[in-house]
Chains A and B, each alone.
Chain A
């Protein structure tokens, strides 16, 4: 068995594709991609925030104070256009001649004096994820509304403090008992297994194809079957090798995440990131790795069984594609709000590990739940291995 294990490992480590999936992907490619995404996202947000909105007020004379507010606001810049109908306004926005048109009600003054709500119309392109125009317009209008409310209250004989109390009769001073680690864990703890668990699958996938369907395609499986080694030992040797590569992928990913987070934290002077990562502790990092071992074992055995069944590389890849999507569902549980680790969830394979990793990062895990997690994940891994061995003993599968 160990002869097979060592041989498979040497062969895999000499393969550029395997090295790409195990080392390059988590160490370089993913951090670069995430960094690039973060950089572009932040750049887009900043650019949206700094964007000066080109606007036009129709019936401007109805509310000169509001017009004046916008005119002197840094985020707004008036444009001179003559737009009379709604169709013209929409056409001008589509043609990117301006960003915002607000049509004021001509009777605003009268409505205000009669204590009636005046309805104005705003035209803008809302198909924007960040929603900068809407946000800035609402802020400007809120300020104007507040000025009007203050004017009403002043006319009624109230001072500014009374106005503030009227606006907000009850205020709450908040005391969050969650420490930074718990808050951080809750926010991104679900995301970590979402990266780690599919990476274990990816780390196992290519070696599984190579060690099963690949051997069939190259004709080496037959030579191997003619040696005195039992098929059980053969399967276990291959299975252990695939599990090793999957766990190695996870280990390298964890190392990469900690390393890059630390580097980014130092470079951008965001000490909180390195402090939080430091507070997780060696034991919890160790437990995360331990939890990933039976998950990797399930993946390794399932993928090897699929690979052995397939008669070619291509066929194996076709079968494994849907598996990648299936794995996402239990992993998403870790990111679902309101779902936390309990006895029931601890028995659901993959979902239990996803939840446990989140709890470990938050520092709120109930360590006794690790027993059912390891038991259930180990049980499913064993079933997968036995199925794999059974598959390997079938002539109709080996010589398809």
Chain B
């Protein structure tokens, strides 16, 4: 369903950034360029959850931004249900929902206004919003505060509204960039339950995280990126097997250090 092949992405570097990296130089920095992604590939099928792992600065967010069409890759291909994301970003955007740790909501708008604004940008009909959107609101238990301004809602409530915003156009793929970072236990639970629900409904879910317990709980597949390169892509059991360790944390460290 989602096929990411050999992604590369280079950014121009600023003088001040170069200086700041002078003491701990990243091998991806070459001259005035920073090769954020050198070769990233992974796959995820319908109804599967893929956990994207990697240390800070590995290239996870860049990968997810390319996947969600915010950035364009220098080379490589992303196919979502036979649609080339690079060549047909507008069509691809209809198939993708995106959620990050930041809720991406407008504080001065109500929860409903936020959801409906994004829904309309995705071409969702008024009829759907009137008749069918309630099901999503009820699943997420947000009906009670739909008319309240987002700035007046708690972080957990905001995150639920943000979920509704991300799935209101019924995406076939859901991309989550460290969605539980900075959230309390209740809000984290909401996200994880939601990911389970999406999987059950047949949505492909790709989420980046630093929490290996979330991988253990949810992921069917794991993809590890280190210094802009994929160093693993497979099932969770393959991950443990390749890393020769049942413990996910040690498995992750082994994969990073190239131990088989």
Q: How far is the CA of A7 from the CA of B11 in the complex (A)?
A: 33
Q: How far is the CA of A396 from the CA of B71 in the complex (A)?
A: 10
Q: Chain A, 219-239, contact with B by CB distance < 8 Å: what is the 0/1 string? A: 110111111111000000000
Contact of B108 with A229 in the complex, beta carbons under 8 Å: no
Given the contacts A228-B90, A399-B71, A7 and B107 also touching, CB distance less than 8 Å: no
B207 at interface, CB cutoff 8 A: no
Q: How far is the CA of A11 from the CA of B121 in the complex (A)?
A: 17
Within A229-257, which residues are at the interface with B (CB < 8 Å)?
229-230
Within A26-58, which residues are at the interface with B (CB < 8 Å)?
none
B113 at interface, CB cutoff 8 A: yes
Contact of B107 with A218 in the complex, beta carbons under 8 Å: yes
Residues on the A chain within 8 Å of B107, using CB: 218
Chain A interface helix/strand/loop/mixed: helix
Contact of B68 among A7, A226, A398, A399 (CB under 8 A): A226
Given the contacts A10-B109, A218-B102, A223 and B118 also touching, CB distance less than 8 Å: yes
Contact of A395 among B71, B118, B121, B165 (CB under 8 A): B71
Residues on the B chain within 8 Å of A4, using CB: 121
- With both beta carbons as reference points, the residue of chain A lying nearest to B175 in the complex is identified as A226
Count CB-based A-B contacts (< 8 Å). 67
Contact of B108 with A220 in the complex, beta carbons under 8 Å: no
- With both beta carbons as reference points, the residue of chain A lying nearest to B118 in the complex is identified as A227
Total count of chain B residues near the partner, CB < 8 A: 31
Residues on the A chain within 8 Å of B70, using CB: 222, 225-226, 398-399
B100 at interface, CB cutoff 8 A: yes
Q: Chain A, 359-400, contact with B by CB distance < 8 Å: what is the 0/1 string? A: 000000000000000000000000000000000000110110
- With both beta carbons as reference points, the residue of chain B lying nearest to A396 in the complex is identified as B12
Contact of B102 among A7, A15, A219, A398 (CB under 8 A): A219
Residues on the B chain within 8 Å of A398, using CB: 70
- With both beta carbons as reference points, the residue of chain A lying nearest to B62 in the complex is identified as A399
A3 at interface, CB cutoff 8 A: yes
- With both beta carbons as reference points, the residue of chain A lying nearest to B117 in the complex is identified as A7
Given the contacts A226-B98, A228-B94, A11 and B104 also touching, CB distance less than 8 Å: no
Taking the nearest CB of chain A, how far is it from the CB of B165, in angstroms? 8
Residues on the A chain within 8 Å of B109, using CB: 7, 10-11, 14
Contact of B106 with A226 in the complex, beta carbons under 8 Å: no
B69 at interface, CB cutoff 8 A: yes
Q: How far is the CA of A18 from the CA of B208 in the complex (A)?
A: 38
Contact of A222 with B100 in the complex, beta carbons under 8 Å: yes
Taking the nearest CB of chain A, how far is it from the CB of B189, in angstroms? 22
Taking the nearest CB of chain B, how far is it from the CB of A228, in angstroms? 4
Q: How far is the CA of A238 from the CA of B109 in the complex (A)?
A: 16
Residues of B whose CB lies within 8 Å of any CB of A are 11-12, 65, 68-72, 90, 93-94, 96, 98, 100, 102-109, 113, 117-118, 120-123, 149, 165
Residues of A whose CB lies within 8 Å of any CB of B are 3-4, 7, 10-11, 14-15, 218-220, 222-230, 395-396, 398-399
> What are 15 residue pairs bridging A and B, where the CB atoms are less than 8 Å apart in the complex?
A11-B108, A14-B109, A219-B102, A220-B105, A220-B106, A222-B100, A223-B104, A223-B118, A223-B165, A226-B69, A227-B93, A227-B118, A228-B94, A396-B11, A399-B70
A-B contacts besides A4-B121, A398-B70, 13 pairs, CB < 8 Å: A7-B117, A10-B108, A11-B106, A14-B108, A218-B102, A219-B102, A225-B69, A227-B122, A228-B90, A228-B94, A395-B71, A396-B12, A399-B70
Top 6 closest pairs, chain A to chain B, by CB: A223-B104, A219-B102, A227-B121, A14-B108, A228-B93, A11-B108
